[in-house]
């Protein structure tokens, strides 16, 4: 019997780098949410492991033990025929590979060992807004985060995560402090606007097109906030309505036919 799973895009609405450990890994304080847009996986029990990658971003994605999906299945102790439809760009700051791996662990078990696959895999198990601290391993569900209309823009540049962290000049920056209980979307957005992604500057230095993506989003009608996710290069814009997000996405895509531009929505906290 085949099983299916969805691996949503992960978005760092904030990403504060608050320190660095002796082993080189960075300490973070990040508000992470997930989007309605993501990769799709299909699993069938099989006598030997196999992986077929399809979809817009299949090119260059390994179909063997180098793929986190394969390694997640091994960690869960299952032998599967896996089909992975890549709708998300990978190595792009929105958790592509990590979210795929988390989808395997959610389906077959082994969640407690998620961190072995990568710093972002534990948070991707959650699918709901999380405050992520430590090197990604300290997680806390955040209430009151509203679902918001988004536009995701990837200008095509690939920026390797280790390089961006290495290029960050100031490694010790203020954390997010105590999170308020937001009582409206406007309050949440006002708070969010005062936060940062500390990796934006080093990522822009490595890939100047990220600045173009941020300007494209920020200049679109109805954009309330534009910021980079993770270590880039994908940026997100928050819009006042789904219609405004769709209109902005169409306008940005028309001006930049080579960019990946997608309107979507974030998943808010339960009951928010
Ligand atoms: O764990 P993962 O393979 O996703 O991390 C990729 C790289 O990003 C690490 O090798 C490290 O250079 C950098 N990183 C970091 N601090 C983190 C997460 C990742 O320095 N908290």
Amino acid 227: pLDDT: 98
Same fold: 3-141 with 149-267: no
Q: Is 39 in a helix, a strand, or coil?
A: strand
Q: State the catalytic residues.
A: 10, 120
Q: Which residues contact 60 (CB under 8 A, 6 or more apart)?
A: none
Q: Is 166 in a helix, a strand, or coil?
A: helix
Amino acid 1: pLDDT: 83
Amino acid 181: pLDDT: 95
Amino acid 66: pLDDT: 97
Give the residue from 233, 23, 228 showing the smallest Cα distance to 119: 23
Query: Domain spans of the chain?
Result: 3-141, 149-267
Closest C-alpha residue for ligand 1 atom 11: 162
Ligand 1 nearest-atom number relative to CA 24? 20
Amino acid 156: pLDDT: 93
pLDDT digits (tens, 9 = 90+) for 80-128: 999 999 999 988 999 999 999 999 999 999 999 999 999 999 999 998 9
Q: What percent of the chain has pLDDT over 90?
A: 96
Ligand 1 nearest-atom number relative to CA 119? 1
Amino acid 270: pLDDT: 87
Closest C-alpha residue for ligand 1 atom 10: 162
Checking if the pLDDT of 271 tops 90, the result is no
CATH of domain 3-141: 3.30.230.10
- Kindly report the average pLDDT of the chain as a whole number: 97
CA distance 254 to 143: 37
pLDDT digits (tens, 9 = 90+) for 208-261: 999 999 999 999 999 999 999 999 999 999 999 999 999 999 999 999 999 999
Task: Provide residues with CB under 6 Å of ligand 1.
Answer: 25-26, 28, 118-120, 135-136, 161-162, 165
Q: Is 162 in a helix, a strand, or coil?
A: helix
Residue 95 to residues 33, 91, 195, 204, Cα–Cα distance (Å)? 11, 8, 21, 19
CATH of domain 149-267: 3.30.70.890
pLDDT digits (tens, 9 = 90+) for 119-173: 999 999 998 999 999 999 999 999 999 999 999 999 998 899 999 999 999 999 9
Checking if the pLDDT of 78 tops 90, the result is yes
Distance (Å) from CA 73 to ligand 1 centroid: 22
Checking if the pLDDT of 272 tops 90, the result is no
Find out whether the peptide bond into 233 is cis, omega within 30 degrees of 0: yes
């Amino acid at each position: 019997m085949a099983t299916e799973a969805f691996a949503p895009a992960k978005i760092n609405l904030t990403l504060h780098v608050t320190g660095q450990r002796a082993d080189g890994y960075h300490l973070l304080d990040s508000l992470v949410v997930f989007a309605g847009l993501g990769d799709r996986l299909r699993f069938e029990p099989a006598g030997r492991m196999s992986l077929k990658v399809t979809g817009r971003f299949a090119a260059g994605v390994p179909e063997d033990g180098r793929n986190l999906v394969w390694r997640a299945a091994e960690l869960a102790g299952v032998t599967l025929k896996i089909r992975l439809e890549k709708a998300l760009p990978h190595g792009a700051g929105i958790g592509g590979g990590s979210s795929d791996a988390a989808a395997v662990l959610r389906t077959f078990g082994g969640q407690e060992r998620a961190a072995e696959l990568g710093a972002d895999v534990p948070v991707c198990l959650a699918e709901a807004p999380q405050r992520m601290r430590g090197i990604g391993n300290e997680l806390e569900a955040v209430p009151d985060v509203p679902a918001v209309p988004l536009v995701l823009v990837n200008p095509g540049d690939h920026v390797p995560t280790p390089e961006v962290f290495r290029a960050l000049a100031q490694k010790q920056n203020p954390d997010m402090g105590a999170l308020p209980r937001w009582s409206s979307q406007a309050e949440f957005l006002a708070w969010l606007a005062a936060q940062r992604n500390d990796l934006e500057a080093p990522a822009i230095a490595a890939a100047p097109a990220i600045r173009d993506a941020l300007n494209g989003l920020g200049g679109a009608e109805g954009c309330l906030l534009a910021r980079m996710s993770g270590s880039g290069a994908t940026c997100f814009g928050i819009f006042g309505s789904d219609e405004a997000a769709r209109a902005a996405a169409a306008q940005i895509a028309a001006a930049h036919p080579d960019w990946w531009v997608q309107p979507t929505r974030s998943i808010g906290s339960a009951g928010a």
